[in-house]
Structure 1
């Protein structure tokens, strides 16, 4: 088991689901849900052992010294409170800001994550997944703590939005000089921006090293297995675990054929005559035995293909 030491930069913990990644950061923050207990160990931040701190001291400490973007952050926002109210709650409680001071700070926080200040009046259901994620990050930055823990902050985001969020996180880290402790199961993502990496398995850190060394293959067999599991979009393709059955005879006649498919939505409002094109002149064929993948970012129209491909759909 390796002791963890964080310095300025990007420190990341990677491991499969259930390896203990979220548990270790909850223990560090002293927010483990019952019946879990911390049996032993110490956590020092700025020279102070927070395991010995009182509950009252911990409440202020969590925002001023270290904040967290929890797993499933898209559901972390209160659905019945506006963005303004949720940011104000942190600013009022932990920094005593009210009125114009709180308003100016809220606008500044949204500006940091490239969200227009007009969205202060928006509710979570009115925002895209990427916008919700940026707002959660803005709230974590509200008191400008020196350490921010991000527990799988890009979960449920498509790959394009994920890369945009990661780029914004790195930009903010360089600008505001805070340390990131990033938790994820996506090793490929971490190798792109992490400075140091801890690999967890079965509740233990089995390897801890600089990313440049782990990229060479790592020392622990589990790390090597993780590195080897990263798919490549180029080069020679390795034989996968599953292969195409030899018994399938592919017909030249498609079992599904879509021709010039189009779906249009009417914009809401009695007097609004604008139309939104969700699917525009799409054609494709699927043959017996094939596995056809449909790839695209959120909002590109993937789901509408399957809905409008159903003959019972009124849109056809």
Structure 2
């Protein structure tokens, strides 16, 4: 077993190494300054052409990680390698062309599109920002292609966001992300605000696009059931750290937190339903994390070692785990 992961591979489009981002605040106007580490020494790989899922409870650092990977936030330390290029060392002038190859689909389709823009204008905005001039005919063909690709009727191009349903808005968000023909999409809970039936349609669309365009996804979600269905591998986060990496969705979890998450998912088949064991204990204060394992206060298997010594993320074959007493 070795500490995970440390080397770069051509099979990975994105490689994250010891990525950390801290935020500071004061609990009162003249109070003492406090620091919270939202993403803490995260290291993981995103293989080319695959869907890597990142799952965890709200507040575990998933969305912060998504923005750090695209360098929409500056890290406190660590590295992000995109296709062999260290994004954290690139000047702003070098990031502009790189951003054509990586895009973000936001969680909330109701606020991610400017309400003053027509759908046509929203879809052409990435090309305008990148300084890619198009004739009127080329612009019309581009809009039609993007809308057809994402299952939207091109007749909706003159419409405004308030005239579209939530599912249609999210399709616009996906189409806009594809406008620059990227290789890598970060999907930040793209189905969280949609009805279940619409969620299934969006996931089906994303899978079709991945296969047709050869895309690589980093899929952020709190829905472990959806992640197990859609993703090729699963990264589990807890309070800013990676606690387990499952190489396949069917790999049995060994971390008590991952096991608790999986046991809490709803099973629609009555013959396969099981009793759910509720987690006890309080989530630690993110501004005052314990010295050892952050999950120790809620873990039924915790010992004095867990409360005193932080478990490192260790690689065992393709399976990575940070736990002193795995199940």
Please give the TM-score of this superposition, normalised by the length of structure 2: 0.68
Which of 76, 89, 92 is the aligned partner of 2:125? 89
Unpaired segments ≥5 residues, structure 1: 243-316
1:17 aligns with 2:58: yes
Please list the CA deviations of residues 251-302 of structure 1 after superposition, one character each: whole Å capped at 9, or x if unmatched: xxxxxxxxxxxxxxxxxxxxxxxxxxxxxxxxxxxxxxxxxxxxxxxxxxxx
Alpha carbons 1:113, 1:138 under 8 Å: kept: yes
Please list the CA deviations of residues 199-253 of structure 1 after superposition, one character each: whole Å capped at 9, or x if unmatched: 0001001111222443x3x1111111111111122226545689xxxxxxxxxxx
In the TM superposition, what is the alpha-carbon distance from 1:196 to its structure 2 partner?
1.0
Alpha carbons 2:55, 2:237 under 8 Å: kept: yes
Structure 1 stretches of 4+ with a deviation exceeding 3 A read: 236-242
Structure number with the higher strand fraction is 2
Alpha carbons 1:197, 1:211 under 8 Å: kept: yes
CA distance in 2 between counterparts of 1:178 and 1:89 reads: 21
Within 5 Å, which residues of 2 pair with 1:206-221? 206-214=243-251, 216=252, 218-221=253-256
Within 5 Å, which residues of 2 pair with 1:261-280? none
Alpha carbons 1:10, 1:180 under 8 Å: kept: yes
CA distance in 2 between counterparts of 1:165 and 1:188 reads: 15
- Number of matched pairs: 235
In the TM superposition, what is the alpha-carbon distance from 1:96 to its structure 2 partner?
2.6
Please list the CA deviations of residues 3-24 of structure 1 after superposition, one character each: whole Å capped at 9, or x if unmatched: 2111121111001000000111
Unpaired segments ≥5 residues, structure 2: 1-40, 279-327
In the TM superposition, what is the alpha-carbon distance from 1:91 to its structure 2 partner?
2.1
CA RMSD of aligned residues (A): 1.8
1:227 aligns with 2:268: no
Relative to 1, partners in 2 of residues 1:240 and 1:177: Cα closer, same or farther, differing over 3 Å? closer
Partner residue, 1:56: 93
Alpha carbons 2:80, 2:87 under 8 Å: kept: yes
CA distance in 2 between counterparts of 1:2 and 1:83 reads: 37
Which of 16, 21, 41 is the aligned partner of 2:78? 41
Partner residue, 2:140: 103
| Structure with larger Rg | 1
Relative to 1, partners in 2 of residues 1:236 and 1:149: Cα closer, same or farther, differing over 3 Å? closer
Partner residue, 1:75: 111
